[in-house]
Structure 1
Amino acid sequence: MEEIKADEESLIKRHRKEKKDLQAKIQSMKNAVPKNDKKRRKQLVEEIAKLETELDQKHEEELKQLSNKVDEETIKPLENGIECLSMESGEQQNLKSCRISKAQKRRDKKAAIEKERENRIAEAEIENLSGARHLEYQKLSQRLAERHLQIKQIPSDGHCMYRAIEDQLICKGLNWNVQELRAQTAKYMRDHSEDFLPFLTNPCTGDVYTSDEFEKYCTEIGSTAAWGGQLEIRALSHILKTPMEVIQAEAPSIVIGEEYENQPVVLIYMRHAYGLGEHYNSVEPLKETLPEEES
Protein backbone atom coordinates (compact mmCIF):
# COMPACT_ATOMS: atom_id res chain seq x y z
CA MET A 1 0.00 0.00 0.00
CA GLU A 2 2.96 2.33 0.61
CA GLU A 3 3.96 1.83 -3.02
CA ILE A 4 0.45 2.74 -4.18
CA LYS A 5 0.47 5.86 -2.03
CA ALA A 6 3.77 6.89 -3.60
CA ASP A 7 2.33 6.23 -7.06
CA GLU A 8 -0.68 8.39 -6.24
CA GLU A 9 1.49 11.30 -5.06
CA SER A 10 3.66 11.00 -8.15
CA LEU A 11 0.60 10.94 -10.42
CA ILE A 12 -0.93 14.02 -8.80
CA LYS A 13 2.39 15.87 -9.08
CA ARG A 14 2.69 14.97 -12.76
CA HIS A 15 -0.90 16.02 -13.44
CA ARG A 16 -0.21 19.44 -11.94
CA LYS A 17 2.91 19.86 -14.09
CA GLU A 18 1.07 18.80 -17.24
CA LYS A 19 -1.71 21.31 -16.55
CA LYS A 20 0.87 24.05 -15.95
CA ASP A 21 2.69 23.13 -19.18
CA LEU A 22 -0.61 23.20 -21.08
CA GLN A 23 -1.46 26.67 -19.79
CA ALA A 24 1.98 27.88 -20.94
CA LYS A 25 1.36 26.33 -24.36
CA ILE A 26 -2.08 27.96 -24.56
CA GLN A 27 -0.61 31.37 -23.73
CA SER A 28 1.98 30.87 -26.46
CA MET A 29 -0.76 29.93 -28.92
CA LYS A 30 -2.74 33.07 -28.02
CA ASN A 31 0.30 35.30 -28.49
CA ALA A 32 0.94 33.79 -31.94
CA VAL A 33 -2.51 34.69 -33.30
CA PRO A 34 -3.31 38.33 -34.21
CA LYS A 35 -5.92 39.74 -31.84
CA ASN A 36 -7.93 41.30 -34.68
CA ASP A 37 -8.29 38.02 -36.58
CA LYS A 38 -11.74 36.88 -35.45
CA LYS A 39 -11.74 33.70 -37.53
CA ARG A 40 -8.41 32.51 -36.19
CA ARG A 41 -9.33 33.52 -32.63
CA LYS A 42 -12.53 31.47 -32.82
CA GLN A 43 -10.55 28.48 -34.09
CA LEU A 44 -8.08 29.05 -31.27
CA VAL A 45 -10.84 28.92 -28.65
CA GLU A 46 -12.05 25.60 -30.04
CA GLU A 47 -8.53 24.18 -30.16
CA ILE A 48 -7.83 25.27 -26.58
CA ALA A 49 -11.05 23.64 -25.36
CA LYS A 50 -10.09 20.44 -27.21
CA LEU A 51 -6.59 20.36 -25.69
CA GLU A 52 -7.93 20.89 -22.16
CA THR A 53 -10.63 18.26 -22.64
CA GLU A 54 -8.10 15.72 -23.92
CA LEU A 55 -5.80 16.36 -20.99
CA ASP A 56 -8.65 16.06 -18.48
CA GLN A 57 -9.79 12.78 -20.06
CA LYS A 58 -6.22 11.47 -19.92
CA HIS A 59 -5.92 12.42 -16.25
CA GLU A 60 -9.30 10.86 -15.44
CA GLU A 61 -8.28 7.59 -17.12
CA GLU A 62 -4.98 7.50 -15.22
CA LEU A 63 -6.79 8.11 -11.93
CA LYS A 64 -9.21 5.31 -12.79
CA GLN A 65 -6.29 2.95 -13.52
CA LEU A 66 -4.74 3.83 -10.18
CA SER A 67 -8.08 3.18 -8.47
CA ASN A 68 -8.25 -0.25 -10.12
CA LYS A 69 -4.75 -0.98 -8.87
CA VAL A 70 -5.83 -0.09 -5.34
CA ASP A 71 -8.77 -2.48 -5.68
CA GLU A 72 -6.51 -5.28 -6.89
CA GLU A 73 -4.14 -4.80 -3.96
CA THR A 74 -7.06 -4.83 -1.56
CA ILE A 75 -8.44 -8.17 -2.74
CA LYS A 76 -5.17 -10.09 -3.09
CA PRO A 77 -5.42 -13.64 -1.70
CA LEU A 78 -4.20 -14.33 1.79
CA GLU A 79 -1.28 -16.71 2.44
CA ASN A 80 -3.63 -19.63 3.06
CA GLY A 81 -4.99 -19.30 -0.49
CA ILE A 82 -8.39 -17.99 0.53
CA GLU A 83 -9.41 -14.74 -1.07
CA CYS A 84 -9.30 -11.77 1.28
CA LEU A 85 -12.71 -10.64 0.11
CA SER A 86 -14.36 -13.91 1.16
CA MET A 87 -12.84 -13.65 4.66
CA GLU A 88 -14.07 -10.14 5.35
CA SER A 89 -16.99 -9.63 7.64
CA GLY A 90 -20.12 -7.87 6.41
CA GLU A 91 -19.08 -4.76 8.29
CA GLN A 92 -15.64 -4.71 6.62
CA GLN A 93 -17.14 -5.16 3.17
CA ASN A 94 -19.58 -2.32 3.76
CA LEU A 95 -16.73 -0.09 4.94
CA LYS A 96 -14.68 -0.85 1.83
CA SER A 97 -17.66 -0.28 -0.44
CA CYS A 98 -18.32 3.05 1.25
CA ARG A 99 -14.68 4.05 0.83
CA ILE A 100 -14.67 3.23 -2.87
CA SER A 101 -17.99 4.99 -3.35
CA LYS A 102 -16.70 8.17 -1.70
CA ALA A 103 -13.54 8.10 -3.80
CA GLN A 104 -15.59 7.77 -6.97
CA LYS A 105 -17.84 10.62 -5.90
CA ARG A 106 -14.80 12.81 -5.36
CA ARG A 107 -13.51 11.97 -8.83
CA ASP A 108 -16.90 12.62 -10.38
CA LYS A 109 -17.18 15.96 -8.58
CA LYS A 110 -13.68 16.97 -9.69
CA ALA A 111 -14.47 16.02 -13.30
CA ALA A 112 -17.69 18.07 -13.19
CA ILE A 113 -15.86 21.11 -11.81
CA GLU A 114 -13.17 20.84 -14.48
CA LYS A 115 -15.79 20.52 -17.21
CA GLU A 116 -17.63 23.59 -15.96
CA ARG A 117 -14.34 25.50 -15.87
CA GLU A 118 -13.62 24.51 -19.49
CA ASN A 119 -17.03 25.77 -20.56
CA ARG A 120 -16.53 29.08 -18.74
CA ILE A 121 -13.14 29.59 -20.37
CA ALA A 122 -14.50 28.84 -23.84
CA GLU A 123 -17.47 31.17 -23.31
CA ALA A 124 -15.24 33.93 -21.94
CA GLU A 125 -12.87 33.69 -24.89
CA ILE A 126 -15.75 33.94 -27.36
CA GLU A 127 -17.27 36.86 -25.44
CA ASN A 128 -13.90 38.62 -25.36
CA LEU A 129 -13.91 38.77 -29.16
CA SER A 130 -16.59 41.47 -28.92
CA GLY A 131 -16.01 42.58 -25.32
CA ALA A 132 -14.24 45.59 -23.84
CA ARG A 133 -10.99 43.70 -23.39
CA HIS A 134 -10.76 42.71 -27.05
CA LEU A 135 -11.81 46.13 -28.34
CA GLU A 136 -9.22 47.83 -26.15
CA TYR A 137 -6.51 45.44 -27.32
CA GLN A 138 -7.51 45.99 -30.94
CA LYS A 139 -7.35 49.79 -30.66
CA LEU A 140 -3.97 49.66 -28.94
CA SER A 141 -2.59 47.22 -31.51
CA GLN A 142 -3.66 49.51 -34.36
CA ARG A 143 -2.18 52.55 -32.67
CA LEU A 144 1.12 50.77 -32.03
CA ALA A 145 1.28 49.30 -35.54
CA GLU A 146 1.47 52.86 -36.90
CA ARG A 147 4.71 53.15 -34.94
CA HIS A 148 5.90 49.67 -35.97
CA LEU A 149 5.41 48.42 -32.42
CA GLN A 150 3.29 45.78 -30.74
CA ILE A 151 2.25 44.90 -27.20
CA LYS A 152 4.67 42.80 -25.16
CA GLN A 153 2.79 40.92 -22.46
CA ILE A 154 3.82 41.44 -18.84
CA PRO A 155 2.56 39.14 -16.03
CA SER A 156 -0.28 40.49 -13.89
CA ASP A 157 1.27 40.00 -10.45
CA GLY A 158 1.14 43.45 -8.86
CA HIS A 159 4.59 44.32 -10.25
CA CYS A 160 3.40 44.85 -13.85
CA MET A 161 4.28 48.55 -14.10
CA TYR A 162 7.77 47.98 -12.70
CA ARG A 163 8.28 44.86 -14.84
CA ALA A 164 7.25 46.78 -17.97
CA ILE A 165 9.76 49.54 -17.13
CA GLU A 166 12.41 46.92 -16.34
CA ASP A 167 11.80 45.34 -19.76
CA GLN A 168 12.15 48.72 -21.51
CA LEU A 169 15.37 49.53 -19.65
CA ILE A 170 16.88 46.17 -20.59
CA CYS A 171 16.23 47.03 -24.25
CA LYS A 172 18.18 50.24 -23.63
CA GLY A 173 21.07 48.29 -22.10
CA LEU A 174 20.30 49.37 -18.52
CA ASN A 175 20.23 46.73 -15.81
CA TRP A 176 17.55 47.70 -13.30
CA ASN A 177 15.46 44.98 -11.69
CA VAL A 178 12.02 45.29 -10.14
CA GLN A 179 13.32 45.33 -6.56
CA GLU A 180 15.74 48.17 -7.32
CA LEU A 181 13.07 50.17 -9.13
CA ARG A 182 10.68 49.78 -6.20
CA ALA A 183 13.31 50.65 -3.60
CA GLN A 184 14.44 53.77 -5.47
CA THR A 185 10.84 54.86 -6.06
CA ALA A 186 10.02 54.59 -2.35
CA LYS A 187 13.19 56.51 -1.41
CA TYR A 188 12.59 59.29 -3.95
CA MET A 189 8.99 59.78 -2.85
CA ARG A 190 10.04 59.94 0.81
CA ASP A 191 12.75 62.49 -0.03
CA HIS A 192 10.31 64.60 -2.06
CA SER A 193 7.13 64.07 -0.07
CA GLU A 194 5.91 67.62 -0.79
CA ASP A 195 5.63 66.69 -4.49
CA PHE A 196 3.53 63.59 -3.88
CA LEU A 197 1.66 63.89 -0.58
CA PRO A 198 -0.98 66.38 -1.90
CA PHE A 199 -2.11 63.79 -4.46
CA LEU A 200 -2.70 60.96 -1.98
CA THR A 201 -5.98 60.82 -0.06
CA ASN A 202 -7.53 58.38 2.36
CA PRO A 203 -10.22 56.45 0.43
CA CYS A 204 -12.48 56.35 3.50
CA THR A 205 -12.30 59.98 4.64
CA GLY A 206 -11.14 61.79 1.50
CA ASP A 207 -8.51 63.61 3.58
CA VAL A 208 -4.93 64.03 2.41
CA TYR A 209 -2.63 61.35 3.79
CA THR A 210 -1.08 61.94 7.16
CA SER A 211 2.67 61.52 7.57
CA ASP A 212 2.14 58.02 8.97
CA GLU A 213 -0.15 57.04 6.10
CA PHE A 214 2.36 58.37 3.58
CA GLU A 215 5.17 56.42 5.24
CA LYS A 216 3.08 53.24 5.09
CA TYR A 217 2.37 53.92 1.41
CA CYS A 218 6.09 54.25 0.65
CA THR A 219 6.90 51.13 2.65
CA GLU A 220 4.39 49.15 0.59
CA ILE A 221 5.98 50.43 -2.61
CA GLY A 222 9.37 49.17 -1.54
CA SER A 223 8.49 45.87 0.07
CA THR A 224 5.21 44.52 -1.35
CA ALA A 225 3.50 43.86 -4.69
CA ALA A 226 1.45 47.08 -4.39
CA TRP A 227 0.32 48.30 -7.81
CA GLY A 228 2.12 51.28 -9.31
CA GLY A 229 0.52 54.25 -11.03
CA GLN A 230 1.11 57.75 -12.30
CA LEU A 231 2.81 59.02 -9.13
CA GLU A 232 5.31 56.18 -9.19
CA ILE A 233 5.92 56.71 -12.91
CA ARG A 234 6.66 60.38 -12.23
CA ALA A 235 9.13 59.42 -9.50
CA LEU A 236 10.85 56.96 -11.80
CA SER A 237 11.11 59.49 -14.62
CA HIS A 238 13.13 61.71 -12.25
CA ILE A 239 15.21 58.79 -10.94
CA LEU A 240 16.09 57.59 -14.45
CA LYS A 241 16.11 61.12 -15.94
CA THR A 242 14.02 59.70 -18.76
CA PRO A 243 10.58 60.58 -20.17
CA MET A 244 7.84 58.01 -19.63
CA GLU A 245 5.19 57.68 -22.35
CA VAL A 246 1.96 55.92 -21.39
CA ILE A 247 -0.18 54.81 -24.34
CA GLN A 248 -3.93 54.25 -23.80
CA ALA A 249 -6.74 53.05 -26.03
CA GLU A 250 -9.37 55.68 -25.20
CA ALA A 251 -7.23 58.78 -24.70
CA PRO A 252 -4.12 60.48 -26.06
CA SER A 253 -0.75 59.26 -24.84
CA ILE A 254 0.58 60.81 -21.64
CA VAL A 255 4.25 61.81 -21.45
CA ILE A 256 5.71 62.26 -17.97
CA GLY A 257 9.17 63.79 -17.53
CA GLU A 258 9.20 65.77 -20.78
CA GLU A 259 12.03 67.89 -19.41
CA TYR A 260 14.45 65.02 -20.04
CA GLU A 261 15.99 64.47 -23.47
CA ASN A 262 16.54 60.69 -23.43
CA GLN A 263 14.45 58.35 -25.56
CA PRO A 264 11.24 57.72 -23.62
CA VAL A 265 10.28 54.51 -21.88
CA VAL A 266 7.03 53.39 -23.55
CA LEU A 267 4.33 51.70 -21.47
CA ILE A 268 0.89 50.38 -22.40
CA TYR A 269 -1.93 51.13 -19.96
CA MET A 270 -4.93 48.79 -20.18
CA ARG A 271 -8.18 49.16 -18.24
CA HIS A 272 -9.74 45.84 -19.22
CA ALA A 273 -6.79 43.45 -19.56
CA TYR A 274 -7.71 41.28 -16.56
CA GLY A 275 -10.61 40.70 -14.22
CA LEU A 276 -8.85 42.75 -11.56
CA GLY A 277 -8.82 45.76 -13.88
CA GLU A 278 -5.87 48.03 -14.65
CA HIS A 279 -2.64 46.60 -16.07
CA TYR A 280 0.60 47.77 -17.68
CA ASN A 281 2.38 46.09 -20.59
CA SER A 282 5.61 46.83 -22.41
CA VAL A 283 6.17 47.20 -26.17
CA GLU A 284 8.47 45.56 -28.70
CA PRO A 285 9.17 45.94 -32.44
CA LEU A 286 6.27 44.82 -34.61
CA LYS A 287 6.63 41.25 -35.85
CA GLU A 288 5.15 39.82 -38.99
CA THR A 289 1.78 38.17 -38.35
CA LEU A 290 1.28 34.51 -39.15
CA PRO A 291 0.12 33.80 -42.73
CA GLU A 292 -3.51 32.77 -43.12
CA GLU A 293 -4.05 29.04 -42.86
CA GLU A 294 -5.20 27.33 -46.00
CA SER A 295 -8.90 26.51 -45.86
Structure 2
Amino acid sequence: MEETLETIQARHRKEQRDLQSRITNKKKNATKKTRKGVNDECAELERQLRERQERELAVFNGEADGEEGDGGDAADGKEDDGTEAISTRLEDASLSDVTTAVTTKPTTEKHPQPQQPPAQQQQQPAGKKRNRQKERLARRAAEQEAAAEAAEAEAAGMTDHRSIEKTYLLREFEANDLVEKEIRPDGHCLFAAVADQLEQRRIPLLPVSEAGDSSPSSQPSAPQQQQPPPPYRAVRKRATDYMEAHPDDFAPFLDEPLSSYVPKIRDTAEWGGQLELAALANAYGVEIKVVQDGRTETIEPSTSGNGGAEEQPRERIWLAYYRHGYGLGEHYNSLRKKG
Protein backbone atom coordinates (compact mmCIF):
# COMPACT_ATOMS: atom_id res chain seq x y z
CA MET A 1 0.00 0.00 0.00
CA GLU A 2 1.38 3.38 -0.98
CA GLU A 3 1.99 5.80 1.93
CA THR A 4 0.28 9.14 2.05
CA LEU A 5 2.02 12.34 3.16
CA GLU A 6 0.30 12.13 6.57
CA THR A 7 1.49 8.56 7.20
CA ILE A 8 5.03 9.45 6.10
CA GLN A 9 5.12 12.43 8.45
CA ALA A 10 3.67 10.35 11.30
CA ARG A 11 6.29 7.67 10.71
CA HIS A 12 9.01 10.32 10.63
CA ARG A 13 7.88 11.69 13.97
CA LYS A 14 7.89 8.21 15.51
CA GLU A 15 11.37 7.54 14.12
CA GLN A 16 12.61 10.81 15.62
CA ARG A 17 11.12 9.95 19.01
CA ASP A 18 12.63 6.48 18.95
CA LEU A 19 16.00 7.86 17.95
CA GLN A 20 15.85 10.51 20.66
CA SER A 21 15.04 7.83 23.24
CA ARG A 22 18.06 5.74 22.15
CA ILE A 23 20.30 8.82 22.21
CA THR A 24 19.13 9.73 25.71
CA ASN A 25 19.87 6.22 27.03
CA LYS A 26 23.24 6.19 25.31
CA LYS A 27 24.30 9.52 26.81
CA LYS A 28 23.02 8.51 30.22
CA ASN A 29 25.25 5.43 30.26
CA ALA A 30 28.28 7.24 28.89
CA THR A 31 31.34 7.62 31.09
CA LYS A 32 33.89 10.40 31.09
CA LYS A 33 36.15 8.39 28.76
CA THR A 34 33.40 7.44 26.26
CA ARG A 35 31.39 10.67 26.30
CA LYS A 36 33.06 12.21 23.23
CA GLY A 37 32.60 9.08 21.14
CA VAL A 38 28.95 8.79 22.23
CA ASN A 39 28.27 12.42 21.28
CA ASP A 40 29.81 11.88 17.82
CA GLU A 41 27.78 8.70 17.39
CA CYS A 42 24.51 10.44 18.33
CA ALA A 43 25.22 13.29 15.93
CA GLU A 44 25.83 10.79 13.13
CA LEU A 45 22.56 8.98 13.90
CA GLU A 46 20.62 12.23 13.77
CA ARG A 47 22.28 13.24 10.49
CA GLN A 48 21.51 9.90 8.81
CA LEU A 49 17.87 9.96 9.94
CA ARG A 50 17.40 13.57 8.83
CA GLU A 51 18.90 12.92 5.35
CA ARG A 52 16.83 9.77 4.85
CA GLN A 53 13.59 11.49 5.81
CA GLU A 54 14.39 14.43 3.53
CA ARG A 55 14.99 12.04 0.64
CA GLU A 56 11.73 10.22 1.31
CA LEU A 57 9.79 13.49 1.28
CA ALA A 58 11.60 14.58 -1.87
CA VAL A 59 10.69 11.30 -3.59
CA PHE A 60 7.06 11.62 -2.47
CA ASN A 61 6.86 15.21 -3.77
CA GLY A 62 8.57 14.27 -7.06
CA GLU A 63 11.50 16.61 -6.38
CA ALA A 64 14.27 13.98 -6.61
CA ASP A 65 16.04 13.79 -9.99
CA GLY A 66 17.70 10.81 -11.56
CA GLU A 67 21.15 11.63 -10.11
CA GLU A 68 20.17 11.49 -6.39
CA GLY A 69 20.65 7.81 -5.81
CA ASP A 70 22.72 5.72 -3.47
CA GLY A 71 25.86 4.33 -5.11
CA GLY A 72 24.59 5.07 -8.66
CA ASP A 73 21.30 3.13 -8.34
CA ALA A 74 19.34 6.10 -9.75
CA ALA A 75 21.12 5.75 -13.11
CA ASP A 76 19.67 2.27 -13.34
CA GLY A 77 16.16 3.51 -12.41
CA LYS A 78 16.42 2.11 -8.85
CA GLU A 79 16.19 5.31 -6.78
CA ASP A 80 13.10 4.20 -4.88
CA ASP A 81 14.62 0.81 -4.17
CA GLY A 82 17.79 2.42 -2.77
CA THR A 83 15.81 4.78 -0.51
CA GLU A 84 13.66 1.93 0.76
CA ALA A 85 16.75 -0.18 1.43
CA ILE A 86 18.38 2.65 3.42
CA SER A 87 15.18 3.12 5.43
CA THR A 88 14.95 -0.58 6.17
CA ARG A 89 18.59 -0.84 7.24
CA LEU A 90 18.38 2.16 9.61
CA GLU A 91 15.11 1.05 11.17
CA ASP A 92 16.36 -2.49 11.76
CA ALA A 93 19.82 -1.51 13.00
CA SER A 94 20.29 -1.79 16.78
CA LEU A 95 22.12 0.79 18.86
CA SER A 96 25.07 -1.53 19.37
CA ASP A 97 25.47 -2.01 15.58
CA VAL A 98 25.52 1.75 14.98
CA THR A 99 27.98 2.15 17.86
CA THR A 100 30.34 -0.32 16.22
CA ALA A 101 30.07 1.42 12.85
CA VAL A 102 30.67 4.94 14.23
CA THR A 103 33.48 4.12 16.67
CA THR A 104 35.43 1.96 14.21
CA LYS A 105 35.10 4.30 11.18
CA PRO A 106 35.49 8.12 11.24
CA THR A 107 32.82 10.13 9.45
CA THR A 108 35.39 11.31 6.89
CA GLU A 109 36.31 7.72 5.89
CA LYS A 110 35.37 7.12 2.26
CA HIS A 111 35.88 3.33 2.19
CA PRO A 112 33.74 1.29 4.62
CA GLN A 113 35.46 -1.18 6.94
CA PRO A 114 34.55 -4.85 6.54
CA GLN A 115 31.84 -5.84 8.94
CA GLN A 116 32.35 -8.64 11.44
CA PRO A 117 30.40 -11.85 11.06
CA PRO A 118 27.15 -11.93 13.04
CA ALA A 119 28.47 -14.58 15.41
CA GLN A 120 31.47 -12.44 16.33
CA GLN A 121 29.25 -9.41 16.84
CA GLN A 122 27.11 -11.32 19.29
CA GLN A 123 30.16 -12.29 21.34
CA GLN A 124 31.20 -8.66 21.93
CA PRO A 125 29.43 -6.96 24.85
CA ALA A 126 27.35 -3.88 24.09
CA GLY A 127 29.33 -1.90 26.68
CA LYS A 128 31.13 -2.31 29.98
CA LYS A 129 28.73 -2.17 32.92
CA ARG A 130 29.35 0.72 35.29
CA ASN A 131 30.54 -0.13 38.80
CA ARG A 132 28.83 2.64 40.75
CA GLN A 133 30.23 1.57 44.13
CA LYS A 134 33.76 1.65 42.76
CA GLU A 135 33.11 5.09 41.28
CA ARG A 136 31.81 6.37 44.63
CA LEU A 137 34.86 5.02 46.46
CA ALA A 138 37.20 6.57 43.92
CA ARG A 139 35.36 9.89 44.14
CA ARG A 140 35.48 9.82 47.95
CA ALA A 141 39.20 9.01 47.95
CA ALA A 142 39.84 11.91 45.58
CA GLU A 143 37.85 14.27 47.83
CA GLN A 144 39.75 13.13 50.92
CA GLU A 145 43.07 13.58 49.16
CA ALA A 146 42.08 17.07 48.05
CA ALA A 147 40.98 17.95 51.60
CA ALA A 148 44.28 16.68 53.02
CA GLU A 149 46.25 18.73 50.52
CA ALA A 150 44.18 21.82 51.37
CA ALA A 151 44.77 21.24 55.10
CA GLU A 152 48.51 20.91 54.55
CA ALA A 153 48.58 24.09 52.52
CA GLU A 154 46.61 25.92 55.20
CA ALA A 155 48.82 24.57 57.99
CA ALA A 156 51.94 25.69 56.12
CA GLY A 157 50.73 29.27 56.23
CA MET A 158 49.56 29.23 59.87
CA THR A 159 51.47 30.41 62.91
CA ASP A 160 53.04 27.55 64.86
CA HIS A 161 51.56 28.46 68.25
CA ARG A 162 52.75 25.24 69.86
CA SER A 163 56.38 25.88 68.96
CA ILE A 164 56.21 29.53 70.06
CA GLU A 165 54.60 28.54 73.37
CA LYS A 166 57.19 25.85 74.08
CA THR A 167 60.07 28.20 73.29
CA TYR A 168 58.84 30.78 75.80
CA LEU A 169 58.15 28.20 78.51
CA LEU A 170 61.59 26.63 78.19
CA ARG A 171 63.20 30.04 78.48
CA GLU A 172 61.25 30.75 81.67
CA PHE A 173 62.07 27.33 83.10
CA GLU A 174 65.76 28.01 82.61
CA ALA A 175 65.57 31.52 84.02
CA ASN A 176 63.88 30.28 87.23
CA ASP A 177 65.99 27.10 87.59
CA LEU A 178 62.98 24.81 87.06
CA VAL A 179 62.44 21.37 85.56
CA GLU A 180 59.10 20.10 84.33
CA LYS A 181 57.23 17.17 85.89
CA GLU A 182 54.75 15.72 83.41
CA ILE A 183 51.19 15.31 84.72
CA ARG A 184 48.71 12.96 83.08
CA PRO A 185 46.19 14.88 80.90
CA ASP A 186 43.09 13.24 82.37
CA GLY A 187 41.01 16.21 83.57
CA HIS A 188 42.70 16.24 87.02
CA CYS A 189 45.94 17.87 85.83
CA LEU A 190 45.58 21.17 87.75
CA PHE A 191 44.89 19.44 91.07
CA ALA A 192 47.50 16.72 90.48
CA ALA A 193 50.14 19.36 89.65
CA VAL A 194 49.30 21.33 92.83
CA ALA A 195 49.43 18.10 94.86
CA ASP A 196 52.90 17.36 93.44
CA GLN A 197 54.10 20.87 94.38
CA LEU A 198 52.68 20.64 97.90
CA GLU A 199 54.21 17.21 98.49
CA GLN A 200 57.60 18.53 97.35
CA ARG A 201 57.35 21.19 100.08
CA ARG A 202 55.90 18.77 102.68
CA ILE A 203 52.68 20.74 102.94
CA PRO A 204 49.78 18.50 104.10
CA LEU A 205 47.10 18.08 101.45
CA LEU A 206 44.31 17.95 104.04
CA PRO A 207 43.99 19.58 107.46
CA VAL A 208 45.39 17.59 110.35
CA SER A 209 41.89 16.80 111.66
CA GLU A 210 40.85 15.23 108.36
CA ALA A 211 44.22 13.60 107.73
CA GLY A 212 43.97 11.89 111.15
CA ASP A 213 40.98 9.94 109.93
CA SER A 214 43.28 8.15 107.51
CA SER A 215 46.03 7.39 110.09
CA PRO A 216 47.31 3.80 110.26
CA SER A 217 45.60 3.20 113.65
CA SER A 218 42.19 3.96 112.16
CA GLN A 219 42.70 1.82 109.04
CA PRO A 220 41.31 -1.72 108.73
CA SER A 221 43.56 -4.74 108.97
CA ALA A 222 46.00 -5.44 106.14
CA PRO A 223 43.79 -7.93 104.20
CA GLN A 224 40.90 -5.40 104.23
CA GLN A 225 42.97 -2.24 103.67
CA GLN A 226 41.99 -0.34 100.53
CA GLN A 227 44.18 1.61 98.18
CA PRO A 228 44.40 5.25 99.34
CA PRO A 229 42.74 7.80 97.07
CA PRO A 230 44.99 9.70 94.65
CA PRO A 231 46.41 13.00 95.99
CA TYR A 232 44.42 15.12 93.54
CA ARG A 233 41.21 14.03 95.31
CA ALA A 234 42.39 15.69 98.53
CA VAL A 235 43.31 18.86 96.62
CA ARG A 236 39.89 18.95 94.91
CA LYS A 237 38.19 18.60 98.31
CA ARG A 238 40.32 21.34 99.84
CA ALA A 239 39.47 23.73 96.99
CA THR A 240 35.72 23.08 97.13
CA ASP A 241 35.64 23.28 100.94
CA TYR A 242 37.11 26.77 100.68
CA MET A 243 34.65 27.77 97.95
CA GLU A 244 31.69 26.60 100.05
CA ALA A 245 33.04 28.55 103.04
CA HIS A 246 33.42 31.76 100.98
CA PRO A 247 30.50 31.72 98.49
CA ASP A 248 30.53 35.49 97.92
CA ASP A 249 34.03 35.27 96.46
CA PHE A 250 33.05 32.72 93.79
CA ALA A 251 29.28 32.62 93.11
CA PRO A 252 29.22 35.93 91.12
CA PHE A 253 31.68 34.47 88.61
CA LEU A 254 29.73 31.26 87.90
CA ASP A 255 27.12 30.54 85.24
CA GLU A 256 25.38 28.07 87.54
CA PRO A 257 24.56 27.86 91.26
CA LEU A 258 27.51 27.21 93.55
CA SER A 259 25.57 24.30 95.06
CA SER A 260 25.72 22.38 91.76
CA TYR A 261 29.18 23.61 90.75
CA VAL A 262 30.97 22.44 93.90
CA PRO A 263 30.03 18.71 93.64
CA LYS A 264 31.14 18.72 90.02
CA ILE A 265 34.61 20.04 90.92
CA ARG A 266 34.92 17.83 93.99
CA ASP A 267 33.71 14.48 92.64
CA THR A 268 34.29 14.39 88.88
CA ALA A 269 37.09 15.05 86.37
CA GLU A 270 35.86 18.59 85.66
CA TRP A 271 38.75 20.85 84.66
CA GLY A 272 39.97 23.43 87.11
CA GLY A 273 40.77 27.03 86.21
CA GLN A 274 41.25 30.50 87.63
CA LEU A 275 38.62 30.16 90.38
CA GLU A 276 40.12 26.89 91.61
CA LEU A 277 43.64 28.40 91.62
CA ALA A 278 42.39 31.29 93.77
CA ALA A 279 40.67 28.86 96.15
CA LEU A 280 43.81 26.71 96.46
CA ALA A 281 46.08 29.71 97.06
CA ASN A 282 43.85 30.74 99.98
CA ALA A 283 43.19 27.24 101.29
CA TYR A 284 46.91 26.37 101.49
CA GLY A 285 48.20 29.91 102.07
CA VAL A 286 50.69 29.66 99.21
CA GLU A 287 51.68 31.84 96.28
CA ILE A 288 51.06 30.14 92.94
CA LYS A 289 53.21 31.06 89.93
CA VAL A 290 51.72 29.98 86.60
CA VAL A 291 54.18 30.10 83.70
CA GLN A 292 52.33 30.42 80.40
CA ASP A 293 52.87 31.65 76.87
CA GLY A 294 54.01 35.27 77.00
CA ARG A 295 53.77 35.89 80.74
CA THR A 296 54.00 34.47 84.24
CA GLU A 297 50.90 34.98 86.38
CA THR A 298 51.00 35.20 90.17
CA ILE A 299 48.02 34.16 92.32
CA GLU A 300 48.38 35.28 95.94
CA PRO A 301 46.12 34.40 98.87
CA SER A 302 43.81 37.19 100.04
CA THR A 303 44.36 38.76 103.46
CA SER A 304 40.97 37.59 104.69
CA GLY A 305 41.68 33.99 103.83
CA ASN A 306 45.10 33.59 105.45
CA GLY A 307 44.24 34.08 109.06
CA GLY A 308 47.50 35.93 109.73
CA ALA A 309 49.65 33.59 107.63
CA GLU A 310 50.71 36.51 105.45
CA GLU A 311 53.07 37.70 108.23
CA GLN A 312 55.25 34.65 107.62
CA PRO A 313 57.13 33.96 104.37
CA ARG A 314 54.79 32.18 102.01
CA GLU A 315 55.68 29.03 100.16
CA ARG A 316 55.73 29.46 96.39
CA ILE A 317 54.61 26.73 94.03
CA TRP A 318 55.16 26.68 90.26
CA LEU A 319 52.89 25.43 87.52
CA ALA A 320 53.26 25.36 83.73
CA TYR A 321 50.10 26.13 81.78
CA TYR A 322 49.74 24.96 78.17
CA ARG A 323 47.12 26.31 75.82
CA HIS A 324 48.45 24.74 72.58
CA GLY A 325 50.86 22.00 73.62
CA TYR A 326 48.38 19.18 74.21
CA GLY A 327 45.84 17.76 71.80
CA LEU A 328 43.04 17.50 74.40
CA GLY A 329 43.21 21.22 75.22
CA GLU A 330 44.44 23.23 78.18
CA HIS A 331 46.86 21.47 80.52
CA TYR A 332 48.92 22.02 83.69
CA ASN A 333 52.27 20.48 84.62
CA SER A 334 54.22 20.73 87.84
CA LEU A 335 57.53 22.69 87.88
CA ARG A 336 60.12 21.50 90.38
CA LYS A 337 63.33 23.20 91.41
CA LYS A 338 66.48 21.67 89.93
CA GLY A 339 68.51 19.47 92.21
TM-score normalized with structure 2 length: 0.42
Taking structure 1 as the reference length, the TM-score comes to 0.48
Q: Which has the higher contact order (CA 8 A, sep 6+)?
A: 1
Q: Which structure has the larger Rg over C-alpha atoms?
A: 2
